[in-house]
Copies of this chain bind each other. A is one copy, B any other.
Amino acid sequence: MSADVVPLRPKGGPPSLDPMLSLTASGMNSVNAVILERMQSKIPLIPALAGHLISGGGKRLRPMLTIAGAELCGYEGSRHHKLAAAVEFIHTATLLHDDVVDGSELRRGKEAANIVFGNPATVLVGDFLFSRAFELMVEDGSLKVLKILSSASAVIAEGEVDQLVAQREIETSEERYLSIIGAKTAALFAAATRIAAVVAERSEAEERALDEYGRNLGIAFQLVDDAIDYDSEAAESGKGRGDDFREGKMTLPVILAYARGTPDERKFWEDAIAGFCTEDEDLARAVELINRHDAVSATRERARHFAQRAIDAIAGFPAGAARSAMAQAAEFAVARRY
């Protein structure tokens, strides 16, 4: 257990990530050291490109979940540092490949790696980081952890392909959307949290509880990400406002606005998602329609449901700094505006 003092949430104040950050601060220092050390290579372009993204101000939420989960399980060893770094490498590899796939121009508020270094190097450095993640897991030596993370990696790739197939497909249902984000985002959240229980040698039931926490948190997190892309009140998200709209991605705000729309509005959505309306004025109309049908707040409401499930999934663990930080992180995931 951490001896750190976890700041309490001021009564009635907005949920904050601070308790999570305090809880995991010392562990994340060790994780960051592993990340920096193991992204090195005798080919200088590799750390240059990887570092562009890795030092680019990401929240490192996934490795943080491994550290927090280990705290929750009362784990006192250090095996999870390497494994948390492996999780972040897998995540970084998928981001690099995503940016190539989407032709992204911005990532975390600065030029995406594919713009600075080109698609070829970005694809290959993603492959390197992915391989390095497996090397770290092999060094740890747990076949159970390897199984969890290799299977999550395959599911992530399936989710990404499925998202690609659903792109520009106006008839995408909420069900299918949930299946896509469950694969492309929540599978790694679930695996990151689950492996903490494996390292701490806790029961199968506790493993499953941490898996559920991570999975539901991941869904909530992605729902809010997708809401923010259309949220006129939200601060600029690092990923570039309206990206999903221009790429014709069927996210929940669009699915709901389309479902709730008039025939005229539906015609607009059909054209927009097909790629015929991608100007700024089209984005403005999209945001207006989404507001008219409360699709952003409905998406946040859906997120709240999954966040609550995440919180309840870990209710069986002893109360304490770890559990309350993880619960508040789930509330924060719903409330955040960036």
Q: Helix, strand, loop or mixed for chain A's interface?
A: helix
B101 x A157 contact (CB < 8 A): no
Across the two chains, which residue of chain B brings its CB closest to A96?
B123
Q: Is A147 an interface residue (CB 8 A)?
A: yes
State whether A131 touches B146 (Cβ < 8 A).
Answer: no
**Chain B residues with CB under 8 A of A160:** 124, 127
Interface residues of A in 122-167 (CB under 8 A from B): 123-125, 127-128, 130-132, 134-135, 137-138, 141, 143, 146-147, 150-151, 153-154, 156-158, 160-162, 164-165
Q: A101 near B123 (CB under 8 angstroms)?
A: yes
User: CB distance B165 to A127 under 8 Å?
Assistant: no
User: How close is A179's CB to chain B, nearest CB, in angstroms?
Assistant: 9
- A173 sits at the interface (CB 8 A): no
Q: How many A residues touch B, CB cutoff 8 Å?
A: 42
A135 cross-chain contacts in B, Cβ below 8 A: 147, 150-151, 154
Contact partner, A161, options B46, B102, B146, Cβ 8 Å:
B46
Whole-angstrom CA separation of A97 from B156 in the bound complex: 17
- Chain B residues within 8 Å of A158, by CB: 41-43, 46, 128
Whether A291 sits at the interface, judged by CB under 8 Å, is: no
Interface centre among A101, A123, A153, A156 (most CB of B within 10 A): A123
A36 interface residue (CB < 8 Å to B) = no
